[in-house]
Structure 1
Amino acid sequence: MAKVYVLYTGGTIGCEPDSQGALAPIPGPAFERLVLSMPGLSGHTVADHPELGWTMGWLDRTLDSAAMTPADWLLIAQRILDVYGDYDGFVVLHGTDTMAYTASALSFLLPGLSKPVILGGSQVPLSFTLSDALPNLVGALVLAGTLELPEVCVYFDTLLLRGNRARKVDANRFAGFGSPNFPPLATVGSFVAANRALWLPMPEEDFSLAVPANLAARKRALATKATALAEFSVAMLWLHPGLRASTVKAVLAGTTPPVKGLVLLAFGEGNGPTDPEFLAALSDANRKGVIVMDNTQAQGGSVLPGAYATGLGAVGAVGAYDLTPEASFAKLVCLIASGLGPDAVKALMAEALAGELTVGGA
């Protein structure tokens, strides 16, 4: 029997109204009982996939994903590594607000995957009658238990997306996630239509998490990153007409812990204001070792460094190509937490480590 480990972290899928009528995630044991009461999921199996069984775990403190921090990414990654050898696939139930950040981070925190890690959730709680939660949950379970897919993914409303390419694109519709610059890895309907040509290759044996020594090394690396997270922060800044240098300085100066990375959401193909003081503030940050990423605030398309005179490469910003802002932020956090210096981080930010970007554009 294929075995799937389900990690419940909170989010809308596990919410119920509190005494004031506001939605809040219920504790893990109560959520597991709710899942077991759903059609086809009793007995920790999937009724029409008798070869598939599932086990549920949960975080000690269930969270709305708006409250997630990079420390929680490491905790989720650690929980997966702790049971990696015992299961064939993994489902992480997560709130939708920051799911793209967590999915992106896990793709960088879990190199060497040979099994699927699928993040899922819903726009409406599982306890509600009119809800997308049950099909999203069952779809994630089946995909995690039946696909030999070595990736971190997001499954939502029939689409299986590469996790570090996914974005939340709608706050209300069931089709809440998309992947503007990369096609779905699979689509679920009356059958699973898998686009295997897009999947990442299986890792070489000397890199795979299936090797106990590699698994132990990844656990030690996560512990090191957890310590490093207390020593720095990464910021994001949405560029807009009239943005002043004082705003940039306020974001970067005097913060505790210090900002070591800055993701700019720039105009179009990576353009920004031409105010000399604004550019000087960014250039000064670059000289002080802050890694500045030049992303686009457009939903789709790619940053093209040097395409316009208003591009930000002249101040030392790294062109993000078609990295999503969420993936850019998560990748920066993970690389800086690895202890790499600014030059090494800049070089790796412009390389595809887990299928997260297309150099030269989508």
Structure 2
Amino acid sequence: MKRKVLLIYTGGTIGMEKDYESGSLRAFDFGNIFEKMPEMKLMECEVFVHPFAKPLDSSDMGPEEWKIITNYIFDNYDHFDGFLILHGTDTMSYTASALSFMLKGLKKPVILTGSQLPIGDLRTDAKENLLTSLYYASLYENEEAVIQEVAIYFEYKLLRGNRTLKYSAEFFDAYSSPNYPILGQSGVHLNIVKDNLYRDRSETEFHIDNYISEDVLFWRIFPGMKMNHFKEIPKMKVLILQVFGSGTIFSSEKTLEILQEIRNNGTEIVVVSQCISGGISFGKYENSNVFAKIGAISGKDMTAESAITKAMHLIDNPNYTGSFAENFSRSMCGEITE
């Protein structure tokens, strides 16, 4: 029996072709993908295509589009064995992270991929990314999906979606998962590292939680920054601070005073690291003690993309019991090393 994969095309470079009159890139009709890539007809799975009505640059992807994707997966969950989302590369890590929190009780693969060059380009990376993603999206053993999480496949590597970041705008190998090992790698053989795969051990039936708040602000700390600027920003529910190293910030009474004032106004403060690899460890250095004093929340070894989308999903979400801090601090779907 051939597995059925639903391919959701949202936009991005992978679905572009060159307009030879103008020289610029434009989206082609993705309904004709089988003409562009006849190899897809040779796959050991059936592929059904659902393109967005209007393909989007990934910089236009956000909460409303995440909800469209989750709703479409929910409506079609029982009819397909796997889902492949074609997406622009710039914000793919944000979408993959958000979907990992919004899709509950997932027992089927949801793979995201894209490309650095258009599918019609002679040197494109699009075809390999697309074809191998289809393999992963349709991979089953003993009538059970091998991958049961949201993942990104790019340039021969399968990565946990909420652990990824885009680190290169130039190389085909554009994505990294610095704090979690790869889930699989394609070469002559299609390899899976089963010990690294996520499994939802709850008895939860598949459902979606589309709650997303946009009342979140992300701020990168830098040397010489004037803390008084924080007094001028509007009140928000969550402030995510990207700080130095394992959790340090300039030590002064002004720093403590202003951050405490923000906390007293009801804003949750989450701390993540500017380092690509490693994570936050309050108390390791004296200059991190200010965060313990004000009751800030450690983002541990989460990526910025994952921390942002997790905060958006959790803050004031009526579907969770317990405090924001309690829920944010625990690993929900493998986004934190425990």
TM-score under structure 1 length normalisation: 0.85
Query: Kindly, what percent of the aligned residue pairs are identical?
Result: 33
Kindly indicate whether the alpha-carbon contact (under 8 Å) linking 2:220 and 2:241 is maintained by their aligned counterparts in 1. yes
Shift of 1:295: 0.3
C-alpha contact 2:165 2:176 (8 A) present in aligned 1: yes
Distance 1:67 1:20, change over 3 A: farther
Structure 1 stretches lacking a partner, 5+ long = 210-214
DSSP 3-state at the match of 1:100: helix
- Preserved contact between residue 248 and residue 278 of structure 1 (Cα < 8 Å): no
The structural deviation recorded for 1:66 is 1.0
Alignment pair present for 1:111 and 2:93: no
Question: Which of these residues, 148, 159, 162, is aligned with residue 160 of structure 2?
Answer: 162
Question: What amino acid maps onto 2:225 in structure 1?
Answer: L
* 1:100-135 deviation per Cα after TM superposition (whole angstroms, max 9, x unaligned): 111001010001000000010011111211110000
Amino acid at match of 2:101: F
- Shift of the 341–90 alpha-carbon distance from structure 1 to 2, 3 Å rule, reads closer
Aligned 8 A contact 2:31 2:51 in 1: no
Query: Match for residue 218 of structure 2?
Result: 236
Q: 1:317 to 1:194 in 2, by over 3 A?
A: same
The structural deviation recorded for 1:262 is 1.6
Matches within 5 A, 1:1-362: 1-17=2-18, 21-24=23-26, 26=27, 30-41=29-40, 45=41, 47=42, 49-50=43-44, 52-147=45-140, 148=145, 149-204=147-202, 206-209=203-206, 215=207, 218=208, 221-222=209-210, 225=211, 229=213, 232-251=214-233, 253=234, 259-311=236-288, 312-336=291-315, 338-339=317-318, 344-359=323-338
Relative to the length of structure 2, the TM-score reads 0.91
| In structure 2, distance between residues paired with 1:40 and 1:8 | 18
Deviations 1:307-345 (A, max 9, x none): 111113323221111001000001000112523799711
Q: Tell me, what secondary structure is at the counterpart of 2:224?
A: coil
What's the secondary structure of 1:321's corresponding residue? Answer: coil
Amino acid at match of 1:298: C
Asked if the contact 1:280/1:315 (under 8 Å) is kept, the reply is: no
Superposed CA deviations along residues 197-236 of structure 1, whole A, max 9, x for unmatched, are 11122544x4031xxxxx4xx3xx42xx26xx4xx42111
Preserved contact between residue 91 and residue 144 of structure 1 (Cα < 8 Å): yes
In structure 1, how many angstroms separate the alpha carbons of the residues matched to 2:112 and 2:316?
23
Relative to structure 1, the CA distance from residue 80 to residue 341 in structure 2 (aligned partners, 3 Å threshold; closer, same or farther) is closer
| DSSP 3-state at the match of 2:89 | coil
Unaligned runs of 5+ in 2: none
Residue 285 of structure 2 aligns to a residue whose secondary structure is coil
What residue identity is the alignment partner of 1:136?
Answer: N
Distance 1:139 1:337 in 2: 39
Q: Give the secondary structure class of the aligned counterpart of 1:310.
A: helix
Aligned residue-pair number: 329
Which is worse superposed, 183-192 or 314-323?
Answer: 314-323
CA distance in structure 1 between the partners assigned to 2:169 and 2:287 by the alignment = 33
